[in-house]
Structure 1
Amino acid sequence: MVQIKIVKAPVPDYANGVNPVLTLTENEQSYTVYVGKKNASGEFEKPSVDERIDLFQKLGRTCRQSNFKEFELPEEFCLRATLAFAQGFYAPRLDNRDAKSFTVPEAVKEDFARVNGHMNFLRDLINEHAETLTPEKLAEKAVARLQESAASVGKEQALTVNVTKFEQLLERGFVGTYTVGRGSQNKPCLVEVDYNPSGNPEEPVVAALVGKGITYDTGGYSLKPSDAMSTMRSDMGGAALMTTSLALAIASGLNKRVKLFLSCAENMVSSNAFRVGDVISYPNGVTAAVDNTDAEGRLVLADSLILASSANNGRRPEVILDAATLTGAAKVAVGTDYHSLLSFDDQLVAKVFSAAEQTRELFWRLPLAEFHRSQITSPYATISNTGSVTQSAGASTAAAFLSYFVEDYQKGWLHIDASSTFNRRGGPNLAFGATGRGLQTLARFLVEL
């Protein structure tokens, strides 16, 4: 058992003559972590909260890459530090992960197990290969996790689930999910979950969550190049994030009624796949021209957003949140360290930022204005699934498309372009693959509703 030791002092002068926030000195029994640095005057300076989180995540990553098999964290590690270490320690390969373990401080053991367990589920789900994680399998795993979380707090009966499979999608008007998914042998489905801890069927629904569950995205006939396609098993990250956020909120004591809708499909090329130039007619009266089959996420989300808009016993819930790995434009704007927020509702954005401030997860607001709704015009339909002006703001026009399927879209609706879901390059803090970012923020947001 290797012990982690914390020293609240600057790095000793003998450590290569530098004073970074993180330095490890290693022997056969322990790692010593110097939590401190010297400022320009040579005085001791305590790291900021964000620096400490970064430090402990780097520590976990370093420990993962070492040859030691077991680690013991010091008792002074708080929950946040322990979670940071654990997420740095995480490995996407199960055969690598099982060989190593660490012991956490007794004081945070229960809370750590709850949060870290959901975090690992989220990352494992996004990292799973599309060969095994088909649309129906995604639905199955999402429901199973929610049932497990509800059972952990004695609320098994509070969960009601309905999964509409391929044959019934058109009957129920879920035309976007049907159209995008019909070209694959792994057929699409739409998941509806109602978490109602009161047991009262007339209980108001305070929030409806919507997630994009594209388990693999070739781009369809607007085919992606191989490099862009190689990580597209993660295109269901929005569905995974929303599912796990609700699951963690339930396990953390959520006492309000919340519904969840997941549009699950594969976007493949076949003789039965949808085509550029097709027009989809949605049951709310909106028609959408398909000008790019690789802009499929908004087409499937439309079904779930229509459902969400009447999820409160036929009326609109107070809050509608959707999450999707929707655009490359969001990644160009903010990189992959931030999730992007787009909304007409300043107060709702402020509430999400408030939750993010407490969890230290990174979100950035991108613009969404009325004029963006006029930048997706089509001569053949109400709207196009791509921008219709030169150099349009891709993340903003994608959100504008979604607004056509949200009742009273200017109030109580927020779209998350989940640009920080997946890290295609491993780094000093996190391994390659799913990041788990956003989970703690959204779960806290739900609990605090």
Structure 2
Amino acid sequence: MPVYLSNERSATAAWKASAAFYWQQDAITIPLADNEADNLRAIQRAGRQLDNSGLQHLAIAGEGWDIERQWALAQGFTSTLSSNQISWHEQQPQVAEQLTQMTDIARWTRELVNLPPAEIYPQSLAQRVIDKFKDVAGDDQIDYKIIAGDDLLEAGWVGIHHVGRASVKQPLMLQLDFIPDGNKDTDVSAALIGKGITFDSGGYSIKASEGMLAMKCDMGGAATVAGALLLAIQRGLKKRVRLILCCAENLIDGSAYKLGDVITYKNGTSVEVVNTDAEGRLVLADGLLAAGEAGAKLVIDAATLTGAAQMAVGNEYNALFSVDDGLAAETLNLAAQEREPLWRLPLAHWHSNNCPSAFADTANSRPQKGGGAGGASNAAGFLLRFAPHQGQGWLHFDLAGAYHNSANGMWATGATALGIRTIAATLMHEA
């Protein structure tokens, strides 16, 4: 079905003010708004309505379609099972190639998040990521290692081990390097760290059933940074980048970590566990320390970390935290260029002290619902304790917009892949 854009709303009975598109002579026309930001939202809304109408294949036609407008239609016209297809504008072959690459990576990212936890667990997540990178970059540009089970303790990655040890699926850290020149002695320019909690029961701070249902999405950070690196590779990345995925299932049995436990990390920081459902920051701490060991100058972590971030920015934005003002400002600018909603929330060094403990250097949260006031900033402050270079060159993405429990006017149910373009652009700009 061909899809056109129009600057005029149809006066025919086929168009209603509440509709995002109208039918006209066996074609679809999307009326444009008064400014480009509203245009992109209008086009994405039309894509959602077209998906709901039962159509499975659209062909972009006529004038006015640039890459962002075509991408907006694709975002809306993506079904949960990713079965829909779009034929890109035939007069823009270079744009079509870019859109095809973006679509492939975004669909792969969404699929990782949407698959049931019986299929995505630490080992299968790591293997799917390895296989995809080999397919995109080739064996000669990929190097990796997996540290799993009790080997995590020997390597000093105690946070991942504590969180994941109650599951029959071993917790693990995947370190995968993209080395464009194939030289393993090349310095690591940047590190991407992803929270890979493939299922989160909350541990002994157990979630209610309705809150647990969507917790297959708690590895959205791992999927997002992996997708972002793949997109940067497709865009011609020339620097060595290390992908660090911190993977575990947060479950309960007699060996599970408990409230009141104290975890001591490789950098000597001791952490009292006051909430086993604040597990994401415990595994990311290991990832940040690993990034420091790698010598990366640019360090980016991403995680579906806090409900507090979603309360602050909603679920159409991601939240950004950093104490590096210059890097944060540049990243916000890149996000605007990539048309991905991103909002910076407060983070100062004193946030690192906002979860005090009488028994350790810090607690992993505050012992109250949602971590109390400023919960997202306090979580970022916890991570700041482990970030290399006192937080210079470090960005933390709290992925409030990564997943939707139900469909809405802009997105299908499930993962969105929001954030992969911004992180890829930051890698291309800074790495």
Q: Deviation at 1:13?
A: 7.2
Correspondence for 2:32: 35
Q: How does 1:201-240 map to 2 (within 5 A)?
A: 201-240=184-223
Change (3 A) 1:400 1:16: same
Q: How does 1:211-290 map to 2 (within 5 A)?
A: 211-290=194-273
Correspondence for 1:382: 361
Gaps of 5+ in 2: none
Q: Deviation at 1:407?
A: 2.7
Distance in 1 of aligned mates of 2:186 and 2:134: 20
Tell me, what secondary structure is at the counterpart of 1:238?
Answer: helix
Pick aligned residue for 1:163 from 141, 146, 149: 146
Correspondence for 1:78: 66
Change (3 A) 1:429 1:391: closer
Q: Deviation at 1:10?
A: 3.5
- On the 8 A contact 1:146/1:246 being kept in 2, the answer is no
- On the 8 A contact 1:378/1:388 being kept in 2, the answer is no
Change (3 A) 1:295 1:344: same
Tell me, what secondary structure is at the counterpart of 1:322?
Answer: strand
Distance in 2 of aligned mates of 1:365 and 1:69: 37
Tell me, what secondary structure is at the counterpart of 2:242?
Answer: strand
Correspondence for 2:394: 413
Distance in 1 of aligned mates of 2:306 and 2:50: 35
Q: Deviation at 1:70?
A: 3.0
Change (3 A) 1:388 1:221: closer
- On the 8 A contact 1:209/1:261 being kept in 2, the answer is yes
- On the 8 A contact 1:239/1:262 being kept in 2, the answer is yes
TM-score (norm 1): 0.90
Correspondence for 1:48: 35
Tell me, what secondary structure is at the counterpart of 1:285?
Answer: coil
Q: Deviation at 1:388?
A: 6.9
Distance in 2 of aligned mates of 1:270 and 1:28: 62
Correspondence for 1:294: 277
Q: Which amino acid aligns with 1:70?
A: H
Correspondence for 1:87: 75
Change (3 A) 1:293 1:67: closer
Correspondence for 1:42: none
Change (3 A) 1:69 1:306: closer
RMSD over equivalenced CA pairs, Å: 1.9
- On the 8 A contact 2:331/2:422 being kept in 1, the answer is yes
Equivalenced residue count is 424
Distance in 2 of aligned mates of 1:143 and 1:210: 15
Q: Which amino acid aligns with 2:80?
A: P
Distance in 1 of aligned mates of 2:37 and 2:171: 41
- On the 8 A contact 1:3/1:71 being kept in 2, the answer is yes
Gaps of 5+ in 1: 37-46
Tell me, what secondary structure is at the counterpart of 2:154?
Answer: coil
Q: Deviation at 1:205?
A: 2.1
Q: How does 1:351-366 map to 2 (within 5 A)?
A: 351-366=330-345
TM-score (norm 2): 0.94
Distance in 2 of aligned mates of 1:446 and 1:17: 44
Change (3 A) 1:175 1:17: closer
Distance in 2 of aligned mates of 1:116 and 1:205: 28
Distance in 2 of aligned mates of 1:197 and 1:75: 39
- On the 8 A contact 1:163/1:190 being kept in 2, the answer is yes
Structure 1 runs (4+) deviating above 6 angstroms are none
- On the 8 A contact 1:375/1:392 being kept in 2, the answer is no
Correspondence for 2:302: 323
Once the two structures are superposed, residues 257-278 of structure 1 have per-residue CA deviations (whole angstroms, 9 ceiling, x without a partner) of 1111110000001111111111
Distance in 2 of aligned mates of 1:141 and 1:205: 23
Distance in 2 of aligned mates of 1:386 and 1:431: 32
The share of aligned pairs that are identical, in percent, is 36
Once the two structures are superposed, residues 303-348 of structure 1 have per-residue CA deviations (whole angstroms, 9 ceiling, x without a partner) of 1111101212xxxx22111111111111111111111111111011
Distance in 2 of aligned mates of 1:10 and 1:241: 38
Q: For the pair shown, which has the larger CA radius of gyration, 1 or 2?
A: 1
Correspondence for 2:416: 435
Correspondence for 2:327: 348
Correspondence for 1:393: 374
Distance in 1 of aligned mates of 2:282 and 2:16: 57
